[in-house]
Amino acid sequence: MRVRGAPAIGIAGAYGVVLASFEPRSFSREARRLREARPTAVNLAWAVDRMLRRAEREGAEPGQLLEEAQAIHEEDRLACEAIGRAGQEALADRVLTHCNAGALATGGIGTALAPIYVARAAGRDVQVYATETRPLLQGARLTAWELSRAGVPVTLVADGAVAGLLASGRVGAVLVGADRVAANGDTANKIGTYAIALAAARHGVPFYVAAPASTFDLSTPAGDRIRIEERSPDEVRTAGGRRTAPARVAAWNPAFDVTPHELIAGFVTDRGLLRPPFETSLGGAFGGRTLGPPRLP
Amino acid sequence: MRVRGAPAIGIAGAYGVVLASFEPRSFSREARRLREARPTAVNLAWAVDRMLRRAEREGAEPGQLLEEAQAIHEEDRLACEAIGRAGQEALADRVLTHCNAGALATGGIGTALAPIYVARAAGRDVQVYATETRPLLQGARLTAWELSRAGVPVTLVADGAVAGLLASGRVGAVLVGADRVAANGDTANKIGTYAIALAAARHGVPFYVAAPASTFDLSTPAGDRIRIEERSPDEVRTAGGRRTAPARVAAWNPAFDVTPHELIAGFVTDRGLLRPPFETSLGGAFGGRTLGPPRLP
């Protein structure tokens, strides 16, 4: 968790493969270990696999691999900008986001936060509600910090407040990131996302997922096949570094949940805003089960 | 917040009226102030009004009023036991609860937790999932402590994990308390309750509200008329006593939300398990807009 945010995890994995290539004898083993370090964010496997294809073509040579890692990094930066532009029509003046899918999670200006930065730069008065995102408080610690530092008005809410917030009419759209999007559009993202999607559906607030192509996993047919990382119970038994519940109490701590595709109004991607049915909108990408390299600007 | 839990707030209010009666000149003013100290839990107004009716009949005499406050206290203890018995058929082997509606919230064995205590005492293997309940962590600090101390197996989850938990099939029923039930069954309870009800409905898990008669407010027709207390933003900007978000960041901190009656499978009350349509099941209580004194065992 020193590195978090699916795109940033992918980029870190790519640079990790470069470092591993300095030790040719352990290279394959270390690359495999890197690939499995986090099970849910598909960007990690995607980036490591891409590095290994390069190594297969041209040998595990650090200089070549650094070039590939830097390309992954730069493509992610550009993908964030493309997501920012594509998200303009999904955006409302008051947006709810969850966890952190901003600059601190990517190689650029973020995924879910990118359209907000682009809109603000164009002079649009966009304000953000951010969940604190227990147990690790990425919303309070990262999103609130990142947005307020960038001059974007941000209002923090407890995770439990999302249904009441959406019922209140204060929010015009929900925009979240993703750790893995299955072929049918089911989306794994930070625990708590699914509850937001349910409340958004109930109150007619459109719920969008923002992610680069590297987050779409066409080899996973549906959300029930996505492996969900479970983390230490102590993350839940403590808050702000302090124990809150007795140590003898058990805790269940999945890091992600899966939002079914029918609750998602559209995907804000580096190839534009895709709406269901995705078979059509992805131009054969979902239907034909391929999603080629991003068309960079 | 030194006293919390709707029934306990009512009992404390009643004893407060006794104390106020030692100063006859300020009695009415102080009683009014007590009545308005917390806006959402109707038990407070209910208890203070009952004390004032007694004072009107027999004069604001401390000895008489103490008798009335003790009666309110004792009736709540018995109501908890009746709720515990009434809740047996609503109970599943794995129950999810929210916030704290246990012994620490009432004059007896609790409301939502009462059926669990009664079932365990009868040898039934009931286990509990408890949300931590941000921002004040009543689930982690109170429910997890109270249940584990009583030997009830309890598993803590982050508030954001409830939809994933209900999707996982681990939970057979949801049982929560209430701060105010409107005449149509809409229920104000701790912030986060509504999101649980939405996820429970989605996954076919019955969602029950446990409350004594004093929590039913027949003068409020529906949930949109319930005043929701908003508390300090600092409760959200801190966790475990530590600042988590920049002080310049705004926070919205409603203490309660409203769950619409159509999401509620039934009310576990001291008069039995009431199921919709409530006009029928309450035997004219909701329809006829009266709910007399509890029939004590």
Q: B22: number of CA atoms within 13 Å, CB side?
A: 5
- pLDDT for A179: 96
**pLDDT of the residue at B280:** 57
Amino acid B87: pLDDT: 97
Contact A134 B132 (CB under 8 A): yes
Task: Tell me which chain A residue has its CA closest to the CA of residue B193.
Answer: A160
The beta-carbon neighbor of A240 closest among B192, B194, B244 is: B244
Asked if B132 and A165 come within 8 Å (Cβ–Cβ), the reply is no
Q: What is the pLDDT of residue B276?
A: 67
CB–CB contact A163 B194 (8 Å): yes
Residues 6+ apart with CB under 8 A from A272: A86
Distance (Å) from the alpha carbon of B259 to chain A's nearest alpha carbon: 9
The verdict on whether B125 is a catalytic residue reads no
The answer to whether the CB of A211 falls within 8 A of the CB of A267 is yes
Nearest to B163 among A145, A157, A195 (CB): A195
Give the residue carrying structure tokens 């509600």: A129
Q: Nearest Cβ partner of A251 from B156, B233, B258?
A: B156
**pTM as predicted:** 0.93
Specify the residue for token string 């989605």: B202
Taking the CB of residue B89, how many other CB atoms lie within 10 A of it? Answer: 11
Instruction: Provide the pLDDT for residue B56.
Output: 96
Specify the pLDDT at position B288: 37
Of A72, A65, A83, A1, the residue nearest A43 (C-alpha) = A72
- CB nearest B156 (choices: A195, A198, A250): A250
Q: Which residues of B touch A249 (CB under 8 A)?
A: 144-145, 148, 154-156
Strands A207-210 and B238-239: unpaired
Output the pLDDT for position B241.
87
CB A170 within 8 A of CB B203: no
* Regions in chain B scoring below 50 on pLDDT: 283-297
SS3 A179: coil
pLDDT of residue A241: 87
The pLDDT value recorded for residue A99 is 98
Chain A: closest CA distance from residue B246 (Å)? 6
pLDDT tens for residues A139-192? 999 999 999 999 999 999 999 999 999 999 999 999 999 999 999 999 999 999
Q: Where are the beta strands (DSSP E) in chain B?
A: 94-97, 127-131, 154-157, 173-176, 180-182, 187-190, 207-210, 216-217, 238-239, 242-243, 250-251, 256-259, 266-269, 272-274
- Please list every residue in chain B whose beta carbon sits closer than 8 Å to the beta carbon of residue A160: 131, 133-134, 159, 190-193, 195
Please name which of A282, A270, A260 lies closest in space to residue A182, comparing C-alpha atoms: A260
| B35 touches B44 (CB < 8 A) | yes
Residues in chain A, pLDDT under 50: 283-297
CA A157/CA A154 separation, integer angstroms:
10
Nearest CB among B190, B242, B251 relative to A241 is that of B242
Residues of B in contact with A150 (CB under 8 A): none
Task: Count contacts between A and B (CB, < 8 Å).
Answer: 199
pLDDT value of residue B281:
56
**Distances, alpha carbon A160 to alpha carbons A174, B193, B255, in Å:** 16, 8, 10
Nearest-CA distance A107 → chain B (Å): 23
Smallest CA–CA distance, residue A51 to chain B, in Å, is 34
Q: List active site positions of A.
A: 179
How confident is the model at residue A1, as a pLDDT?
A: 79
Strands A272-274 and B173-176: unpaired
- Angle value at C-alpha A65, between A64 and A70, nearest 5 degrees: 100
Q: Percentage of chain A with pLDDT > 70? A: 93
**Is the CB of B140 less than 8 angstroms away from the CB of A194?**
no
The tokens describing B219, both together, are 């003068």
A140, B245: Cβ pair inside 8 Å? yes
Query: To the nearest whole percent, how much of chain A has pLDDT over 90?
Result: 90
Determine the pLDDT at residue B265. Answer: 96
Cβ–Cβ gap B242/A244 under 8 Å: no
